[in-house]
Structure 1
Amino acid sequence: MKNTRLHFAALCTLWLGLLLLSVRGYAQDTQPEDKSKRPSPPAVVAAKTPAATISIDYSRPSVRGRKIFGELVPLGQVWRTGANEATMFTVDKNVKIEGKPLPAGKYSLFTIPGQDEWTIIFNKVPVQWGAFKYDEKQDALRVNVKPQVTPKLTEQMTFTIDKSGKVSILWENTQVDFMVSAAK
């Protein structure tokens, strides 16, 4: 009887140990990813302008000797305007973008680069990976702006916001600006 109890206890212990190991194997890693180690590191730029507080959360891809617009980033197609997750554009008040109204909120910022004109898109789905599930029906606003060729190479894609509310996208030898003004 004593041997039976020992065998039963040993089997229960073994079974419990195997159960715990198998459950641990199915558990998800709860450690958040260190995004700073990505090839295109994250960045946030924010500014208080006369119109609103503007924040842009994006990833910064690099040129690395490549031709960007027209090759790596095709012309005439929706682009996430950065790398990794779609760029997030946040305004704390109702504003106008290039004279067109945009309600306060968080948006994915996409673009359609072109040789002579870019379309800036503010999409109502703020958290997306890339442009893979981009849905035009969710667009809150689209505006068209003219790109500029810059003499200086910008190696890492950069967003800037000046005090007047001008937002600039700079990468390679391209600069694209759009104005954020008060909704009135």
Structure 2
Amino acid sequence: MKKILITALLCASAYTFAQYTLPAASPRAKVEQQFSLSKITVDYGRPAVKGREIFGALVPYGKVWRAGANSSTKITFSQGVLLQGKNVSSGTYGLFVEPSASKWRVILSSDSQSWGTQYDASKDVLSVEVPVEKLPTSQEYFEISIQPVSEHKAHIVMEWDRTAVRIPVEAAGTEKLGRIQEKLMEIRGIEREK
């Protein structure tokens, strides 16, 4: 009887332990923002500062970084966009950066499935440079947000430690969309008069 009781307790302990999960050191996050006629989605890992020197040390200057932790950061555009006037087709891309003290080179890669520091420059779709901003307080966990500027413009913002960058993004083809909206307004105006 004693052996059965001990065996049952051990099984119950093992089951309880299996149900317990530790918090992730770099938890995954996903941010989505309605944008123009569709949306932008970013899926990334959020490493913490943990008292370390980040840019220029943990994340070296002049080396490509996956803009997060663990698997590569993925960014999805549901419609074509412009990054600093450069066309980007709708789709999912790997998001990488090459930081320096004054600016970051932001890279979109056709490889959105790589792990860790695996980076292949031959898969670059495009890159743009954005200036570095200094934050007044430290941001403990790496964070990516999407901040709307207007109906068809936004900033993809990355913040970590005391560093921030803003990547301007604009919906492609907004001139045509503007003409469609004007035409709809004319039609609605006509309908109101009837």
TM-score (norm 1): 0.78
Alpha-carbon distance change, 177 to 45 in structure 1, aligned in 2, over 3 angstroms: same
Work out the number of aligned pairs and report it: 150
Whole-angstrom CA distance in 2 between matches of 1:53 and 1:170: 21
Matches within 5 A, 1:1-184: 37-50=23-36, 52-132=38-118, 134-164=119-149, 165-184=154-173
Match of 1:138, as an amino acid? K
- 1:133-184 deviations in whole A, cap 9, x for unaligned? x111111110001010111110000001012311100000000110110112
Q: Greater share of helix residues, 1 or 2?
A: 2
Higher relative CO (Cα under 8 Å, sequence separation at least 6) belongs to 1
The root-mean-square deviation of aligned C-alpha atoms, in Å, is 1.6
Whole-angstrom CA distance in 2 between matches of 1:40 and 1:47: 22
SS at match of 1:146: strand
The alpha carbon displacement at 1:104 in A equals 0.4
Whole-angstrom CA distance in 1 between matches of 2:161 and 2:33: 24
Could you tell me which runs of 5 or more consecutive residues in structure 1 were left unpaired when the two chains were aligned. 1-33
Alpha-carbon distance change, 99 to 127 in structure 1, aligned in 2, over 3 angstroms: same
Whole-angstrom CA distance in 2 between matches of 1:93 and 1:66: 38
Worse overlay, 150-159 or 36-45: 36-45
- 1:93-114 deviations in whole A, cap 9, x for unaligned? 1100122111100000000001
Which runs of 4 or more aligned residues in structure 1 lie more than 4 Å from their structure 2 counterparts after TM superposition?
none
Question: 1:24 maps to what in 2?
Answer: none
- Identical-residue share of aligned pairs (%): 36
SS at match of 2:93: strand
Whole-angstrom CA distance in 1 between matches of 2:131 and 2:159: 13
Match of 2:161, as an amino acid? E
Match of 1:147, as an amino acid? V
Is this contact kept in 2: 1:95–1:182, CA < 8 A? Answer: yes
- 1:33-85 deviations in whole A, cap 9, x for unaligned? x9983200000001012264100000000001111000000000000111000
Whole-angstrom CA distance in 2 between matches of 1:39 and 1:149: 25
Alpha-carbon distance change, 95 to 70 in structure 1, aligned in 2, over 3 angstroms: same
TM-score (norm 2): 0.74
Could you tell me which runs of 5 or more consecutive residues in structure 2 were left unpaired when the two chains were aligned. 1-19, 174-194
